[in-house]
């Protein structure tokens, strides 16, 4: 029996909210810091030690005692009593009248008043002569213990994606492991009797499936593991069996299907979803392309039923699937807020009751303004234009790649 | 004998040009398309077949013959003679007066005048009744063979980085393998007697090395393989031996060192570089930070001698090393051109004879203008501010990450 399907229609913004409400961050795991790039912190990490770990010289120069050996009206003289290289682990001590040659990053000896760079000093007969003016400067050329990071300071907040800058801070603070959220494992099913696998002969009326390659690549850019990417014909029993098998065997954190989302006889995704006990959150959107698209939970597994045409798959992935993945990753800020940009080219038709999405290319002009134009048909996108029926000079765009 | 070192001073722009001139794309290799994301095409790839592969229905509806069975003043009637699902490999034929039910993506039967969507048709007694107005519409709901991609059309240009959008096009066209440039293999050496490895006890006067973690992560974001990341004390013999060993054993495509670039006694990088027969392209830049930094060729291997402080390493990586990596990858456009942005916050001091680089955070404001502010000390950067001594309201920035 074909299950009855009710229409649950949402706007794009409502859909994004509804998805976010139903997806929780994946469980935590502890991994080596060396593998943590682009993973999402599951806990607040605070500094275990100060940085620098002790008072250090900020220059190659002389560490001078508070009192010179002698001084005239122009210069003060100090006896050069030794040298401290960076990495010297012995805590040295300056007696009055003494100076040590000291290198950038080396620990300041006890009794140091200031460091004076080599280039303003003069060496003579085992002494260093320093102009008096240098001894009056405010700049001591000493980096104080903890001036960069103090013990207990926040190094990485929970629910933050770890960037190279975070890894630097964490590594310098002695962090070797970090607790992050697990990476999402995503399964992809491309439905369509017309789909031919790459390498198989292309029969008349058929097409080579590109959605699998597209989604696998998009998932990779979102730091997911694509656990499988299967093609299946428009046959409700086969699609049902395939989904059951994937859920049982692979336990995906997210399932994405393409195709089979129209009102036609062979559009089976909703039917299969309902038959499997799936609970729809929406099955219609006030969005073009994407009017017929489904999101729901299938035995707790989030499920996106995307349309078949790859241009729609691409746009809806960025608008709906990517923020869901961000939530699974545990990231707090999904980023990708809509921005305002100047539209280059003629005004575009939009619909009052619906968001029209268009693939676009954004750039910053010579005056520092964000500008956007429609992408050519085969051109890679870096932005998605949102037409909402209320356009002035500025349009709304979502940036999805580096600016041209 | 300590080799004599001459000063070769360049501006930042000159340095970028000089580096690009000395680096050639790595050799080519053929890889599966499924592994090609973010790799750089080594040849122009042209379409081997059209897409769609035949004339297709653009809607679920009826394919109508040129002549109806009969017509009155309001509707034309056609005999429903069958159904064509997407993926049907038999080339059907419409006789005059006939219609086929047809699904989106299915091959158009011979003799079809147009497709009319189900929702504007009425079925009655094995016939479909179509309003005459529908038969006069310009829109035929037929996607012609090759309307998306024609045989011979360019799908991916040589020296282009492959994005998900390219992989979609290539997969749909039946491409299973692609010729790309090899990925760069990069070796990192962090010099400094004060450097302690993570996990070792931190002695007074020492610091835990963070440059290795920073550079490994930055290299990962640039799609390089970091083949080794070693720490060595300030000892010319040891540094020399280590570099020789890495070049002989690992054959890196690029070598990066940190530290040892000042004028001090323990600043050995230039000395070692010269001793190993390295040919300098520059060893000074009119850039702060980064005055003392080296680029040259060591037995044909490009070598960057970066300073020790991680904030300088980070900025100079983005400004100098990343474009070199882009060249090794074979990419034509390095992207990352300087953009203009409005500076938020007080005007910044800059120097007339030198570019001052500052870590920054860029965003797009509500009017679509790019704005930039200095980053807080522990904040991840998404932009680098360039101060060139000639600032008006707009400053120059290089974007290095997604906009806030």
- The span from the CA of B315 to the CA of A234, in Å, is 53
First-residue to last-residue Cα distance in chain B: 53
Q: Which residue has the tokens 């994004």?
A: A16
Q: What is the ipTM of this complex?
A: 0.94
- Test B198 with A176 for CB contact under 8 angstroms: yes
B312 with B48: CB under 8 angstroms?
no
Q: Which residue has the tokens 């001590």?
A: A93
A192, two tokens: 């369509």
| Per-residue model confidence (pLDDT) at position A7 | 81
A52 with A143: CB under 8 angstroms?
yes
The whole-number average pLDDT for the span B15-33 is: 96
| Per-residue model confidence (pLDDT) at position A4 | 63
User: pLDDT digits over B46-82, tens only?
Assistant: 999 999 999 999 999 999 999 999 999 999 999 999 9
> What is the CB neighbour count within 10 angstroms for residue B74?
10
B49, two tokens: 């077949």
For residue B347, is pLDDT > 90?
no
A164 with A37: CB under 8 angstroms?
yes
- Which of residues 343 through 372 in chain A touch B, CB cutoff 8 A? 364-371
Query: Could you tell me the CATH superfamily of domain A9-26+183-329?
Result: MoaB/Mog-like domain (3.40.980.10)
* DSSP string across B318-370: IIIIHHHHHHHHT-S------EEEEEPSS-----TTSEEEEEEEEEE-TTSBE
Q: Which residues of A68-78 are buried (b: 16+ CB within 10 A; e: fewer)?
A: beeeeeebbbb
The one-character DSSP state at B51 is B
- The span from the CA of A313 to the CA of A321, in Å, is 10
> What is the CB neighbour count within 10 angstroms for residue A251?
11
Q: Report yes or no: A338 at the B interface, CB cutoff 8 Å.
A: no
Minimum Cα–Cα distance from A371: chain B residue: B368
Q: Report yes or no: B297 at the A interface, CB cutoff 8 Å.
A: no
Three-state SS at A242: helix
**Average pLDDT of chain B?**
93
CATH class of B56-143: mainly beta
- Going from N- to C-terminal start, the domains of chain B cover 9-26+183-329, 29-51+148-181, 56-143, 339-399
| Per-residue model confidence (pLDDT) at position B335 | 63
Backbone φ, ψ for residue A345 (5° rounding): 105, 175
User: pLDDT digits over A322-363, tens only?
Assistant: 999 999 999 987 667 899 999 998 888 778 789 999 999 999
A85, two tokens: 């290289």
The whole-number average pLDDT for the span A390-400 is: 86
> What is the CB neighbour count within 10 angstroms for residue B133?
10
Helix and strand counts by DSSP (H, E) for chain A: 8, 29
CA distances from B364 to A402, B372, B377 (A): 13, 9, 22
Greater confidence (A265 vs A269) lies with A269
Give the DSSP H/E element, type plus range, for residue B211: helix B211-221
- Test A210 with B367 for CB contact under 8 angstroms: no
- The number of C-beta contacts closer than 8 angstroms across A and B is 279
- The span from the CA of A67 to the CA of B340, in Å, is 51
User: pLDDT digits over B156-179, tens only?
Assistant: 999 999 999 999 999 999 999 999
- The span from the CA of B192 to the CA of A86, in Å, is 7
> What is the CB neighbour count within 10 angstroms for residue B113?
15
Q: Which residue has the tokens 């930042």?
A: B12
Chain centroid, CA B399 distance in Å: 13
* Lowest-confidence segment of A65-69, A134-138, A336-340 by average pLDDT: A336-340
CATH of B29-51+148-181, one of 3.40.50.300, 3.90.105.10, 3.40.250.10, 3.10.20.600: 3.90.105.10
Q: Quick one: which of B384, B257, B362, B256 has its CA closest to B311?
A: B384
For residue A2, is pLDDT > 60?
no
Q: Quick one: which of B124, B123, B104, B126 has its CA closest to B115?
A: B104
Helix and strand counts by DSSP (H, E) for chain B: 8, 29
- The span from the CA of A107 to the CA of B89, in Å, is 79
Q: Do domains A9-26+183-329 and A56-135 have the same CATH topology?
A: no
User: pLDDT digits over B269-301, tens only?
Assistant: 999 999 999 999 999 999 999 999 999 999 899
CA angle (A382 as vertex; A376, A386 as ends), nearest 5: 80
The whole-number average pLDDT for the span B379-383 is: 94
User: pLDDT digits over B355-371, tens only?
Assistant: 999 999 999 999 999 99
- The span from the CA of B222 to the CA of B230, in Å, is 20
What is the torsion angle, in degrees rounded to the nearest 10, for the CA atoms of residue B366, residue B367, residue B368 and residue B374? Answer: -70
Q: Closest Cα of chain B to A162: distance in Å?
A: 9
Greater confidence (B34 vs A264) lies with B34
What is the torsion angle, in degrees rounded to the nearest 10, for the CA atoms of residue A137, residue A143, residue A149 and residue A152? Answer: -90
User: pLDDT digits over B221-241, tens only?
Assistant: 999 999 999 999 999 999 999
- The span from the CA of B83 to the CA of B106, in Å, is 10
The whole-number average pLDDT for the span A309-322 is: 96
- Compute the Cα dihedral for A320, A321, A322, A328 and give only its sign: positive
Band the pLDDT of B199: cuts 50, 70, 90: confident
Query: Which of B204, B212, B220 has the CB atom closest to A107's CB atom?
Result: B204
| Angular region, A152: left φ>0, alpha ψ -120 to 50, beta rest | left
User: pLDDT digits over A182-204, tens only?
Assistant: 999 999 999 999 999 888 888 88
* Half-sphere exposure at residue B190, Cβ-oriented, CA atoms within 13 angstroms: 23
B80 with B128: CB under 8 angstroms?
yes
Q: Report yes or no: A32 at the B interface, CB cutoff 8 Å.
A: no
Q: Which residue has the tokens 């081997």?
A: B48
**Residue of B105, B176, B308 best to disrupt the A interface, most CBs of A under 10 A:** B105
Contacts of A213 in chain B (CB under 8 A): 33-34, 167-168, 170-171
- The span from the CA of A270 to the CA of A5, in Å, is 8
For residue A166, is pLDDT > 70?
yes
User: pLDDT digits over A357-384, tens only?
Assistant: 999 999 999 999 999 999 998 899 999 9
- The span from the CA of A318 to the CA of A399, in Å, is 10
Backbone φ, ψ for residue B269 (5° rounding): -60, -50
CATH of A56-135, one of 3.90.105.10, 2.170.190.11, 3.30.70.240, 3.20.20.70: 2.170.190.11
- The span from the CA of B219 to the CA of B225, in Å, is 7
Contacts of A173 in chain B (CB under 8 A): 208
Q: Report yes or no: B60 at the A interface, CB cutoff 8 Å.
A: yes
Q: Report yes or no: B129 at the A interface, CB cutoff 8 Å.
A: no
Q: Closest Cα of chain A to B225: distance in Å?
A: 13
- The span from the CA of B208 to the CA of B197, in Å, is 6
> What is the CB neighbour count within 10 angstroms for residue A138?
5
| Angular region, B125: left φ>0, alpha ψ -120 to 50, beta rest | left
| Per-residue model confidence (pLDDT) at position B76 | 96
| Per-residue model confidence (pLDDT) at position B57 | 94
The one-character DSSP state at A276 is T
Band the pLDDT of A264: cuts 50, 70, 90: confident
The one-character DSSP state at A119 is G
Minimum Cα–Cα distance from B109: chain A residue: A205
A257 with A317: CB under 8 angstroms?
no
For residue A1, is pLDDT > 60?
no
Q: Which residues contact B227 (CB under 8 A, 6 or more apart)?
A: B185, B186, B187, B250, B252
**What is the bridge-based pairing of β-strands B142-143 and B56-57?**
antiparallel
- Test B368 with A340 for CB contact under 8 angstroms: yes
Sheet strands (E) in A262-389 = 279-282, 284-285, 287-288, 294-298, 301-306, 339-343, 355-364, 370-374, 383-387
> What is the CB neighbour count within 10 angstroms for residue B48?
12
- Test A87 with B209 for CB contact under 8 angstroms: no
Band the pLDDT of B2: cuts 50, 70, 90: low
Q: Report yes or no: A164 at the B interface, CB cutoff 8 Å.
A: yes
- The span from the CA of B109 to the CA of B304, in Å, is 64
CA distances from B154 to A207, B47, B49, B121, B169 (A): 19, 6, 12, 40, 10
A73 with A135: CB under 8 angstroms?
no
| Per-residue model confidence (pLDDT) at position A3 | 58
- Test A87 with B233 for CB contact under 8 angstroms: yes
């Amino acid at each position: 029996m074909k299950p009855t399907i009710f229409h649950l229609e949402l706007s794009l913004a409502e859909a994004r909210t509804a998805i976010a409400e139903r997806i929780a961050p994946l469980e935590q795991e502890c991994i080596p810091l060396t593998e943590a790039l682009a993973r999402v912190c599951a806990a607040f990490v605070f500094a275990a030690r100060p940085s620098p770990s002790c008072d250090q010289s900020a220059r190659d120069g002389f560490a001078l005692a508070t009192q010179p050996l002698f001084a005239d009206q122009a210069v003060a003289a100090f006896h050069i009593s030794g040298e401290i290289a960076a990495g010297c682990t012995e805590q040295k001590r300056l007696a009055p009248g003494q100076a040590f040659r000291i290198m950038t990053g080396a620990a300041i000896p006890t009794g140091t008043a200031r460091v004076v760079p080599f280039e303003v000093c003069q060496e003579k007969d085992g002494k260093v002569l320093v102009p008096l003016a240098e001894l009056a400067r405010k700049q001591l050329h000493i980096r104080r213990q903890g001036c960069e990071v103090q013990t207990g300071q926040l190094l990485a907040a929970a629910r933050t994606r770890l960037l190279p800058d975070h890894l630097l801070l964490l590594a310098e603070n002695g962090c070797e492991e970090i607790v992050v959220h697990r990476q999402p494992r995503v399964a992809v099913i491309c439905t369509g009797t017309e789909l031919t696998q790459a390498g198989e002969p292309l029969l008349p009326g058929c097409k080579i499936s590109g959605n699998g390659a597209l989604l696998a690549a998009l998932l990779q850019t979102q730091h997911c593991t694509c656990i499988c990417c299967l093609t299946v014909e428009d046959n409700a029993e086969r699609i049902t069996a395939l989904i059951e098998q994937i859920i049982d065997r692979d336990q995906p954190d997210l399932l994405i299907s393409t195709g089979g989302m129209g009102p036609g006889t062979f559009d089976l995704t909703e039917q299969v979803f309902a038959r499997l006990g799936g609970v729809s959150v929406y099955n219609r959107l006030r969005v073009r392309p994407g009017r017929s698209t489904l999101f729901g939970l299938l035995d707790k597994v989030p499920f996106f039923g995307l349309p078949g045409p790859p241009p729609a798959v691409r746009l809806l992935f960025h608008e709906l699937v990517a923020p869901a993945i961000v939530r699974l990753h545990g990231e707090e800020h999904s980023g990708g807020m809509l921005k305002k940009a100047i539209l280059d080219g003629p005004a575009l038709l939009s619909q009052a009751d619906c968001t029209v999405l268009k693939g676009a290319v954004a750039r910053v002009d010579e005056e520092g303004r964000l500008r956007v134009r429609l992408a050519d048909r085969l051109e890679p996108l870096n932005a998605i234009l949102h037409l909402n029926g209320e356009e002035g000079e500025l349009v709304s765009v979502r940036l999805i790649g580096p600016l041209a």
